[in-house]
Structure 1
């Protein structure tokens, strides 16, 4: 295990793209990218708290602005515009996102005011490439990490409070059908997730301070533990076999200190699918 980056407030939604690791530092309201030498830079500040990241097939960058329900898009000239307005579907915070190979963005909403209100069911919204928005599934117990298989046919949602991974078939128009449990996770609290070429899935677990690799049905293949909460993970690097993990203390320190990190672990199978 190696340390790639330190000094984060709270890293989320890591993505490997174009030779960089990109992530949302939600505690600092910044999107950051870092190279394999650990050199980092701020890509954009997002006052509404950045969460899920992704790219359209033409390379335009998408960022979820969690608290104000905006999906932002960077244009080729570097300007930022609103790709879609998610707020009419829910007033509560938006979480992770996966953009599939067709440019459909799936965004989770937690369904309640985190840390204030009682937990309530959340939803997943679909944003089509032209910015049209609709709800495609509901009833999630804290919809968090989202992944899409490389054939664009299956979507998997991490339900952090439901202790499970839930799968759907993706229909031709982007809708979801055939809801089913991909894996029950007794004692597990899945956050960010990613897929590998052996058909396995990695999930990060904040209270468990770990990342777990498992097969559909729940067979655990590997567990990597940390000394902080593991918020999200992604496979990437030159061979696609480096697992990048964002970790941070939980509960967060009250003194505003930045103890969050990005750690790396070599994995047995390369990245596939989305994100």
Structure 2
């Protein structure tokens, strides 16, 4: 049994974890900050995002992209601050959330599709792609809360965690960034997927908040490992020097007011056998 140790705590709600350029970077969503932390737990604020940050990614030139949730915009961090890349409000019915950016700079952005915190009934929504020039378009529809996403190392397959579909869904990626050949990559049964990451054996680590665990899943749905967490696991990422550190973003719940009041969010880590692969 693997055990988790706390890297940092006192967070509002950590999401969108990434390993980039030797650093661990994540969104402290309800604190409105993007944060970087080293392996000793020393943290720094990368930028402030007024309308809540979520998914993170990087363009080929190294500039960071960040999803601005409640105004449904994609932002880019330039030397002189955040700049809008695209306004997705006419394409995404509700708050935007996670994102993956491919090697060409195309950003695939999910959204809630409904008001989660007011307990609305889940309904299908869109997956939006934003090209490097800022042109945004819908590339998939009827997605049940598209959340964590990965791209395989060859750049040809996008896999999306559909939280309220309880599945991982795969698409072929076209030369223009379009998606085709939609299929179920893994049926997760009763597990609701949130953030995900891919390893070098083509297995996916999935954060499952309602089950308070992170699971490692093979294509087809076989769960080959489970790691329990003390509260709820909302996202995960493989990184570290050898790609074998599994970072897990945990929190007692996702309610914005409760998260800001309790500051129970953590980044927790453990070592695993198979290293990171693909994107992010």
Contact 1:207 1:250 survives alignment (8 Å): no
**Which of these residues, 180, 183, 192, is aligned with residue 189 of structure 1?**
192
Matched, 1:266 2:271: yes
| 1:91 Cα offset (Å) | 3.9
- TM-score normalised to the size of structure 1? 0.97
Deviation string 1:50-73 (CA, Å, 9 cap, x unpaired) is 000000011010000010011010
Instruction: Please show how residues 54-69 of structure 1 align to structure 2 within 5 Å.
Output: 54-69=57-72
Q: Is the 8 A contact 1:97 1:108 kept in 2?
A: yes
Deviation at 1:118, TM superposition (A): 2.3
User: Equivalent residue for 1:232?
Assistant: 235
1:152 aligned residue: 155
SS at match of 2:164: coil
Give the aligned length. 274
Deviation readout 1:114-171 (Å, 9 max, x if unpaired):
2223221111101111111000001111111111111110001101111100000001
Pairwise CA RMSD of aligned residues? 1.2
Alignment partner, residue 175 of structure 1: 178
The 1:167–1:254 alpha-carbon spacing in structure 2 relative to 1, beyond 3 Å, is: closer
Q: When the two structures are superposed, what TM-score results if normalisation uses the length of structure 2?
A: 0.95
2:136 is aligned to: 133
Instruction: After TM superposition, give the deviation of residue 220 of structure 1 in Å.
Output: 1.1
Whole-Å separation in 1 of the counterparts to 2:116 and 2:191 = 19
Please list every run of 5 or more consecutive structure 1 residues that lacks an aligned counterpart in the other structure: none
Match of 1:109 in 2: 111
| Equivalent residues of 2:30, 2:259 under 8 A apart | no
Unpaired runs of 5+ residues, structure 2, are none
Q: Cα gap change, 1:157/1:254 in structure 2, threshold over 3 Å: closer, same or farther?
A: closer
CA contact (8 A) 1:155 1:167 kept: yes
User: Which residue among 31, 48, 51 is the counterpart of 1:48?
Assistant: 51
Deviation of 1:251 after TM superposition, in Å, equals 5.7
CA contact (8 A) 2:36 2:45 kept: yes
Structure having the larger proportion of residues in helix: 2
2:262 corresponds to: 257
Could you tell me how far apart the structure 1 residues matched to 2:260 and 2:153 are?
A: 42
Offset of 1:254 from its aligned partner?
A: 7.1
Q: Are positions 1:222 and 2:262 aligned together?
A: no
